[in-house]
Chain A
Amino acid sequence: GAVVSQHPSRVICKSGTSVKIECRSLDFQATTMFWYRQFPKKSLMLMATSNEGSKATYEQGVEKDKFLINHASLTLSTLTVTSAHPEDSSFYICSAQIRGITEAFFGQGTRLTVV
């Protein structure tokens, strides 16, 4: 299967700072990337969908000014958590899709802890 690399795998930051998470498709061009968050023992919650070269589409209840998504190229999407708070601590996962292919390929996930 296609490889999606997510970095960093773990990050601890201070409350009020911003954190950037990268998601790269290594061996394919991802026309669409998805960002999820997952709380312990809960399912994946879709935060937003990003298509290369256009603005991200955010799910209801997700603050677009807090969770900035940039899909600058067909192989890279970034999620920036701005002014992080302890309640933003979670497991963030990206996935990528190739146009015309339904399966989504997941990155390794990023464990964010805000202290």
Chain B
Amino acid sequence: QKEVEQNSGPLSVPEGAIASLNCTYSDRVSQSFFWYRQYSGKSPELIMSIYSNGDKEDGRFTAQLNKASQYVSLLIRDSQPSDSATYLCAVGFSGGYQKVTFGTGTKLQVIP
């Protein structure tokens, strides 16, 4: 069983719409949750981090965490063509350092 699962997509949304990206994880002791955006041929860049249940908003992005159901989601409001990328969900496990496990990513296409 994969530790972090995402739908590979592609997820296509029209410009201006809300894009909803979902992620589930298997380890109940996970403590830290991240969303990264990766453009083709580039390395990932951190968009959001969330640590407690509920919603966290940053500009057009909202991360939602539900530890009881073991899922984390990312909403992108007013989607723009520049948001077209692969979005990686990452989950952190405790330890002397934070080892982060990545999902396979969801490819988002925003259609003008």
Contact = CB atoms under 8 A, between A and B. Distances in A.
A93 B105 CA distance: 16
A97 interface: yes
Contacts of A6: 43
Contacts, number: 50
Contacts of B51: 102
B59 to A, nearest CB: 15
Nearest to A93: B43
Given A51-B97, A103-B34, A44 B44 contact: yes
Given A43-B88, A102-B32, A103-B34, A109 B100 contact: no
Given A99-B97, A102-B31, 16 more contacts: A32-B98, A42-B104, A43-B102, A43-B104, A44-B44, A44-B88, A46-B99, A46-B101, A49-B97, A102-B49, A104-B100, A105-B46, A108-B42, A108-B43, A109-B42, A109-B43
Interface of A: 1, 6, 31-32, 34, 42-44, 46, 49, 51, 91, 93, 97, 99, 102-109, 111
5 contacts: A32-B97, A32-B98, A43-B103, A97-B97, A102-B51
